[in-house]
């Protein structure tokens, strides 16, 4: 009779340890799986240029934006950079054209 009670206590303790271990393993798996995937950083960069001719001003704004994108990539340590969206807006005030070139850039 004494022997049976010891076996029951041993089985109960073993069951409790297995349930607790399974619960801890499940929580650990959830914590690891719920971590966000490290994604690249995205930002919107823009550059303005002014000049007499709209076509030259637009080209200059594009070159300045490209230089700014390269500087941003180097500063953040990105090897591959992609510009998802790019747009140019030009306005003319009198004889002077002002162009703003912007792009969404991800590293």
Whether residues 29 and 59 share a domain: the answer is no
Among the ranges given (22-26, 41-45, 46-50, 87-91), the one the predictor scored with the smallest mean pLDDT: 22-26
pLDDT surpassing 90 at residue 64: yes
* pTM above threshold 0.75: no
Beta bridge pairs of residue 96: 93
Grouping H, G, I as helix, E, B as strand and the rest as coil, residue 26 is: helix
Whether residues 27 and 71 share a domain: the answer is no
Closest Cα to residue 102, out of 88, 84, 83, 90? 88
Whether residues 79 and 100 share a domain: the answer is yes
**Range of 18-22, 37-41, 58-62 with top mean pLDDT:** 58-62
Whether residues 80 and 57 share a domain: the answer is yes
Measured distance CA(54)–CA(51) in Å, rounded: 7
- Structural domain span for residue 23: 1-35
Q: Residue 47 — very low, low, confident or very high, per pLDDT cuts 50/70/90?
A: very high
Measured distance CA(98)–CA(60) in Å, rounded: 11
CA 81, chain centre distance (Å):
12
């Amino acid at each position: 009779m004494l022997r049976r009670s010891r076996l029951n206590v041993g089985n109960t303790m073993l069951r409790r340890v297995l349930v607790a271990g399974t619960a801890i393993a499940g929580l650990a798996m959830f914590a690891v799986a719920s971590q966000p995937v490290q994604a690249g950083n995205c930002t919107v960069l823009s550059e303005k240029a002014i000049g007499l001719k709209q076509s030259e001003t637009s080209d200059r704004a594009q070159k300045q934006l490209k230089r700014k994108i390269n500087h941003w990539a180097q500063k953040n340590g990105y090897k591959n950079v992609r510009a998802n969206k790019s747009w140019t807006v030009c306005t003319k005030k009198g004889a002077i054209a002002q162009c703003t070139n912007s792009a969404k850039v991800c590293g």
